[in-house]
A and B are shown apart, each in its own frame.
Chain A
Amino acid sequence: MLVLDRVGKTYPNGVHALQRFTAKIPQGEIVAIIGGSGCGKSTLLRAVAGLDRASTGTIVLDDIHIAAPHAKIGIIFQEPRLLPWLSVADNIGFGLSDLPADIRRDKVAAALARVGLTEKAKAWPRELSGGQAQRVAIARALVPQPEVLLLDEPFSALDAFTRRDLQDHLLDLWADTRPTLVLVTHDVDEAVVLADRVLVMRPRPGRLFAEIQVNLARPRDRASPLFDAVKRRVMTALDRSLDRNAPDDASESAAGEAMWW
């Protein structure tokens, strides 16, 4: 269980990026955090990753207080951030340096096969396409078997086709060990395809606005009317979150209201 309790962040320059964000995320749940720019979603993710300290509130994972990067928490960034001087295989094994070499080799080989890049094991990162590089990044984050995997707009730099491919692929990989996924995105489609629950945030200061359950069986059909209905609810909430006059509404927003288009 990942518990975020009234997490807030004020930067030294006075920018109030995040205010009293509270959420409980059970082990194995997939949560998407969506919101307009400046709503503090990346700030929140970096705090959970332990890369930045929250100014107020606490982040607790299974009784562990998170204030610095932790072995149980992995993160995937918008860019693959592969180390250009390491081969694909060595990049994937980067977080396994404590293990004996033969165990590391086996784990890396298994991960390479799992992301379908076995024949690229010895390639340099510069020789990969954007989608392949991001798959290596996913493998690198998953191979130490984190309990929580954070994803900061992981597919936003990819073309639409590759993005869909990787979304499906991520779900496949998630099913192996079922870590908790916390996904920050600005893509409604992506949020609804992947998440059990969508948290909509609103900007200035960043805070939770609405919470939408996605009770659709996987694999999800992007063309189904049910899928579309959930997407509309998320879009409506997103739209209202940008309206300065709308009241904060952290409860589940009513379905089908205010068809603004």
Chain B
Amino acid sequence: MAMTLDTPALDGSDAIDTPATPGRWRHVARPALGVLLPLAVALVWEFVVGSGWSNGRLVPPPSRIFTTIMELARSGELSRHIAATLSRVGAGFGLGVVAGTLLGAISGYWGLARRLLDPTVQALRAIPSIAWVPLFILWLGIFETSKIALIAVGVFFPVYLGVMGAILSVDRKIVEVGRTFRLSGPAMIRRILLPAVLPAYVVSLRVGLGLGWMFVVAAEFMGASEGLGYLLIDGQQLGKPAQILAAITIFAILGKTTDWLIELVSAPLLRWQDAFRPGGDH
């Protein structure tokens, strides 16, 4: 952080003298601005606990959370919990995406299937997904399968809706261009429909992934012996708030990283759409 805060953009005289360059610094300075508040709060709390004004027992200071993470990492426990959670999210997300994409595509492309399928899916969607938990445990047991199923259900709906909605909203005028060039059915899908639905699909994947992270916590609350959700419950039952905050921090990092990965992979495919301005004036 110190690096970004030391940029010349914050040096007032420099910025005024060269009106052409602030745009370049702004895209460094603006995110730094967003970090300022949480950083300040963390530093203040660290100072308050450090100087003995509070014992920080229920709200541990950042340094104690960091120490907890390091201890967990050293003992090898952290990687075990992360691996457990990641594999659940991965499997649930994968299943949810495959099912959501297939059914969404069928519903979007084929009117009869939509009329047959969509009302049922919409009705199921109205059920809060957590409500399935008891049933999944009865059906699938308390181990991995029921957890993955719950995550997959959470991921399925946004992906299904995203794919179906995207196909239904493909511009008829663009499809007509494909028709005038006599594209066959598969060519129409590959050259017109797929690229046209891609932006909305990526958004639905990101929404689905967000829900996947949400539901993995719920899944791991319902009796797990490992995973970040287990760390949360364990921290609550044994009165270790630093461990809870450590797990939350790692959830945040993992969630942000996986979301960023989707963005990274899809960015080259969506360059045509991205209104990137080198000046960075927004």
Residues in A lying within 8 Å of B, measured CB to CB: 49-51, 68-71, 74-75, 77, 79, 81, 83-86, 94-95, 97, 124-126
Q: B71 on the interface (CB 8 Å rule)?
A: no
| Given A69-B181, A85-B196, A94-B181, 19 additional A-B pairs, CB 8 A | A50-B180, A51-B179, A68-B182, A69-B179, A69-B180, A71-B182, A77-B173, A81-B176, A83-B177, A83-B195, A85-B195, A85-B198, A85-B272, A86-B272, A94-B177, A94-B191, A95-B181, A97-B187, A126-B275
From residue A187, how far is it (CB to closest CB) to chain B in Å? Answer: 22
What is the interface of chain B mostly: helix, strand, loop, or mixed? helix
Contact across chains for A75 and B180 when beta carbons are under 8 A apart: yes
CA distance A94 to B180 in the complex (A): 11
CA distance A69 to B184 in the complex (A): 12
Contact across chains for B176 and A51 when beta carbons are under 8 A apart: yes
Task: Write the B234-275 contact mask toward A (1 if CB under 8 angstroms, else 0).
Answer: 000000000000000000000000000000000000011101
CA distance A85 to B177 in the complex (A): 14
From residue B197, how far is it (CB to closest CB) to chain A in Å? Answer: 11
CA distance A85 to B191 in the complex (A): 10
Which of B173, B272, B273 is A81 in contact with, Cβ under 8 Å?
Answer: B173
Q: B207 on the interface (CB 8 Å rule)?
A: no
> Chain A residues near B195 (CB, 8 Å)?
83, 85
> Chain A residues near B200 (CB, 8 Å)?
none
Residues in B lying within 8 Å of A, measured CB to CB: 173-174, 176-177, 179-182, 187, 191-192, 195-196, 198, 271-273, 275
> Chain A residues near B273 (CB, 8 Å)?
84-85
Contact across chains for B272 and A69 when beta carbons are under 8 A apart: no
Contact across chains for B180 and A74 when beta carbons are under 8 A apart: yes
CA distance A85 to B270 in the complex (A): 8
CA distance A68 to B134 in the complex (A): 56
From residue A74, how far is it (CB to closest CB) to chain B in Å? Answer: 7
> Chain B residues near A70 (CB, 8 Å)?
182
Contact across chains for B177 and A126 when beta carbons are under 8 A apart: no
Contact across chains for A126 and B272 when beta carbons are under 8 A apart: yes
Q: List 9 A-B contacts (CB under 8 A).
A: A51-B176, A51-B179, A74-B180, A77-B176, A83-B195, A84-B272, A94-B181, A124-B271, A125-B272
CA distance A155 to B79 in the complex (A): 63
> Chain B residues near A125 (CB, 8 Å)?
272
Which of A49, A84, A86, A126 is B180 in contact with, Cβ under 8 Å?
Answer: A49
> Chain A residues near B191 (CB, 8 Å)?
94, 97
> Chain B residues near A97 (CB, 8 Å)?
187, 191
From residue A40, how far is it (CB to closest CB) to chain B in Å? Answer: 19
**Contacts A84-B273, A85-B273 hold; do A79 and B173 have CB atoms under 8 A apart?**
yes
Contact across chains for B192 and A83 when beta carbons are under 8 A apart: yes
CA distance A140 to B154 in the complex (A): 44
Closest 3 CB pairs of A and B: A85-B195, A85-B272, A95-B181
Contact across chains for A83 and B174 when beta carbons are under 8 A apart: yes
Contact across chains for A69 and B177 when beta carbons are under 8 A apart: no
CA distance A49 to B176 in the complex (A): 11
From residue A92, how far is it (CB to closest CB) to chain B in Å? Answer: 12
CA distance A126 to B258 in the complex (A): 30
> Chain B residues near A126 (CB, 8 Å)?
272, 275
> Chain A residues near B173 (CB, 8 Å)?
77, 79, 81
> Chain A residues near B179 (CB, 8 Å)?
51, 69
